[in-house]
A and B are shown apart, each in its own frame.
Chain A
Amino acid sequence: MPERKKLLQVKHLKQYFTSGKSTVKAVDDVTFDIYEGETFGLVGESGSGKTTTGRSIIRLYDPTDGEIIFDGKDVSKLKSRADKREFNRKMQMIFQDPYASLNPRMTVEDIIAEGIDIHGLAKSKKERSEMVENLLETVGLNRDHASRYPHEFSGGQRQRIGIARALAVQPKFIIADEPISALDVSIQAQVVNLLKDLQEEKGLTYLFIAHDLSMVKFISDRIGVMHYGRLLEVGPADDVYDKPLHDYTKSLISAVPIPDPEIERQRHRIDYDPSIEGDDGDKVRSLHEITPGHFVRCTDDEVEMYKKKAAEYEK
């Protein structure tokens, strides 16, 4: 395999929130890389820290500790306005709720063009309108939708507007935080296919955050599984889904309902005991590579056990 370029490196990211005396470790020592042109899926249940991780990466939060290196630069050390601006242009976000993430008092054109204006990407009003109209077509909407307001659109259409807004500044990297979970099944497929097509066309890199494992498996090249603010398992999508190593991943996969009655009748749900990931006493856990590219969070002593597990899948 040729050496691929790491577009994003997250190193020992910690994001703590304090309220009064208590500290919530929303993200606790998370490390992963995202290669250029791939889709990295981050899955976990509510409270696992997957959304916080995404928000810390795009600097909606100031990380408590750790490094985020994007395109070769440490994003927390960007000092000059120009550098910050460049970062904000290259990294964009698509949000979960297509109703809350579009300003109801702005026209679609102004929503999409906000980034274009800020970054001065259009030289004239005419060019600005042209860019917006092209973007609308790219995401499968009509050119004349530009003068309308968000309330005139359905959920799926609004999500397309959100995607057009993210694309407007020609980013390299897009964080999609549960972009389809508010949509109907038939519309979900439309949006996922659109994201896939855009990736191919524009060479985009995605961080796809979701709780729906089957959809994440479908769209991602690699998957990371989070729980209690920790990254428990990382690996190629098929490996994580078909040959899960961590007990939490197994329980998560065993809970995903499959639209096939025969499979459902034979479903065997695996319960998970979270104590195995706790930091009991002086045991230190970190990510260990078990099979090529497939990592699990465990102690040094547990590596052998996981290697055996991985070998069993090969039989």
Chain B
Amino acid sequence: MAERILDVKNLKVDFHTYAGEVKAIRDVSFHLDKGETLAIVGESGSGKSVTTKAIIGLLANNAKVVGGEINFNGQDILKKSEKEMQSVRGKEISMIFQDPMTSLDPTMKIGQQIAEPLMKHKGMNKKDAWAKALDMLKAVGITNAEKRINDYPHQFSGGMRQRIVIAIALVCDPEILIADEPTTALDVTVQAQILDLMKEMQAKVKTSIIFITHDLGVVAGMADRVAVMYAGELLEYGTVDEVFYNPQHPYTWGLLNSMPTLASDKLESIPGTPPDLLDPPKGDPFAPRNPYAMKIDAEQKPPFFKVSDTHYAATWLLHPDAPKVTPPEEIVRRQEKYAELMAKKKD
């Protein structure tokens, strides 16, 4: 059995705004195993970033955790003071942000920026820290590292900057790396390089990754497990194969269906827009946009139904009394592929 290093239980986060309390995270639970990559997928406003910011203690001033716990190595992170969090952040849990331009200090040499966490968290002296920084710079694929360690961020391209950010995040061998849309600002070819680098570095430093993205293509290539978020709730989670080939929640169907694939010539869109979280819907939050919605979806929030030991989905369609529905064509195609895969595995 895999070792569980992070356990998020019933997390609830509200944002205080002039218009009222925005219920951004509404009862979210998930876990992270050692060495795995968990992808959290969702659209903007689904709460994926807020969830990870709660984990690393970087919530905005107007945000408040109103319930739940986040257990990391047996301790509830939410109970830690800001001072205690400072020794967790960057050392045990570190983060990569979307925009490599703004996450580096433009006035500091990159060597200094990589060495800083080593001096702060590991008490290294400057010389040793810079030596380690140089190794790290080489490891993330910066050519001519001896010379470039003295350069400033503006002297690097976007992709190179993201490599440096990865070096900083991983230099203290953190147990968890949170990557919040780390490749969204990059070109596809550079994105492919950075994703390869992340996999390679993960194998080297044995870190677990929480990967936040809206790009299902990236998820398919990076994740061991996938969690789908919508309107501040988790709707479905499972292994990458289970979620991509045997999705159960109509929202997951809609997401997979709205991507152009090689097989289909038609693009299905999800009608409507996500709900306003000032006044979140009572039942399934996706119900108003869901062509498969039943009466109960608008009235009562569905619990998680078990699909397999690793796969759960919160949709009433999985209730034994629910009528049988045929998912969209593209999903049927995926389920057929899943059956083939499972048959192959048995052989």
Is B a genuine binding partner of A?
yes
* A→B interface (CB under 8 Å): 45-46, 154-157, 184-190, 192-193, 211, 213-215, 217-218, 251-252, 254-265, 267, 269, 272
B218 is an interface residue with CB less than 8 A from chain A? yes
Partner of A261, one of B188, B241, B255: B241
Asked if A259 and B188 make an inter-chain contact with CB atoms under 8 angstroms apart, the answer reads no
Q: With A156-B273, A260-B261 as known contacts, state yes or no: A252 contacts B189, CB within 8 Å.
A: yes
Contacts of A252 in B (CB 8 A): 188-189
Asked if A218 and B260 make an inter-chain contact with CB atoms under 8 angstroms apart, the answer reads yes
Contacts of A184 in B (CB 8 A): 43-44, 214
Nearest 4 pairs of A and B residues by beta carbon = A257-B217, A189-B269, A264-B221, A189-B258
Cα distance, A272 to B189, chains bound together (Å): 9
B316 is an interface residue with CB less than 8 A from chain A? no
Asked if B255 and A267 make an inter-chain contact with CB atoms under 8 angstroms apart, the answer reads no
Contacts of B221 in A (CB 8 A): 257, 261, 264-265, 267
Cα distance, A185 to B261, chains bound together (Å): 13
Cα distance, A260 to B273, chains bound together (Å): 26
Asked if A211 and B188 make an inter-chain contact with CB atoms under 8 angstroms apart, the answer reads yes
Instruction: Give B208 Cβ to nearest chain A Cβ, in Å.
Output: 19
Partner of A189, one of B192, B240, B267: B267
B220 is an interface residue with CB less than 8 A from chain A? yes
B215 is an interface residue with CB less than 8 A from chain A? yes
Instruction: Give A275 Cβ to nearest chain B Cβ, in Å.
Output: 16
Asked if A186 and B270 make an inter-chain contact with CB atoms under 8 angstroms apart, the answer reads yes
Q: With A185-B255, A185-B259 as known contacts, state yes or no: A257 contacts B196, CB within 8 Å.
A: no
B191 is an interface residue with CB less than 8 A from chain A? yes
Chain B contact residues: helix, strand, loop or mixed: helix
Cα distance, A190 to B289, chains bound together (Å): 13
Instruction: Give A268 Cβ to nearest chain B Cβ, in Å.
Output: 11
Interface residue tally of chain B, by bracket?
Answer: 35 or more
Cα distance, A269 to B189, chains bound together (Å): 9
Asked if A259 and B256 make an inter-chain contact with CB atoms under 8 angstroms apart, the answer reads yes
Asked if B218 and A257 make an inter-chain contact with CB atoms under 8 angstroms apart, the answer reads yes
Asked if B187 and A45 make an inter-chain contact with CB atoms under 8 angstroms apart, the answer reads yes
Contacts of B192 in A (CB 8 A): 254-255, 257, 269
Instruction: Give B28 Cβ to nearest chain A Cβ, in Å.
Output: 19
Asked if A251 and B189 make an inter-chain contact with CB atoms under 8 angstroms apart, the answer reads yes
Q: With A45-B187, A45-B189, A260-B261 as known contacts, state yes or no: A190 contacts B269, CB within 8 Å.
A: yes
Cα distance, A192 to B268, chains bound together (Å): 10
Cα distance, A255 to B255, chains bound together (Å): 21
A241's nearest neighbour on chain B, judged by CB, is: B262
B323 is an interface residue with CB less than 8 A from chain A? no
Instruction: Give A34 Cβ to nearest chain B Cβ, in Å.
Output: 22
B239's nearest neighbour on chain A, judged by CB, is: A261
Q: With A186-B254, A186-B255, A255-B188 as known contacts, state yes or no: A262 contacts B261, CB within 8 Å.
A: no
Asked if B241 and A45 make an inter-chain contact with CB atoms under 8 angstroms apart, the answer reads no
Instruction: Give B24 Cβ to nearest chain A Cβ, in Å.
Output: 16
Contacts of B158 in A (CB 8 A): 46
Instruction: Give B103 Cβ to nearest chain A Cβ, in Å.
Output: 19
Partner of B217, one of A189, A251, A256: A256
Asked if A186 and B43 make an inter-chain contact with CB atoms under 8 angstroms apart, the answer reads yes
> Could you name 25 residue pairs across A and B whose Cβ atoms are closer than 8 Å?
A45-B190, A46-B158, A184-B43, A184-B214, A185-B214, A186-B258, A187-B43, A187-B273, A189-B258, A189-B259, A190-B270, A215-B260, A252-B189, A254-B192, A255-B192, A257-B218, A257-B221, A258-B262, A260-B220, A260-B334, A261-B220, A261-B241, A262-B337, A267-B221, A269-B196
Asked if A259 and B220 make an inter-chain contact with CB atoms under 8 angstroms apart, the answer reads yes
Cα distance, A1 to B315, chains bound together (Å): 51
Cα distance, A156 to B45, chains bound together (Å): 14
Cα distance, A155 to B177, chains bound together (Å): 30
Contacts of A193 in B (CB 8 A): 267, 269
Residue of B195, B216, B262 most packed against chain A (CB within 10 A): B262
Contacts of B43 in A (CB 8 A): 184-187
Asked if B261 and A259 make an inter-chain contact with CB atoms under 8 angstroms apart, the answer reads yes
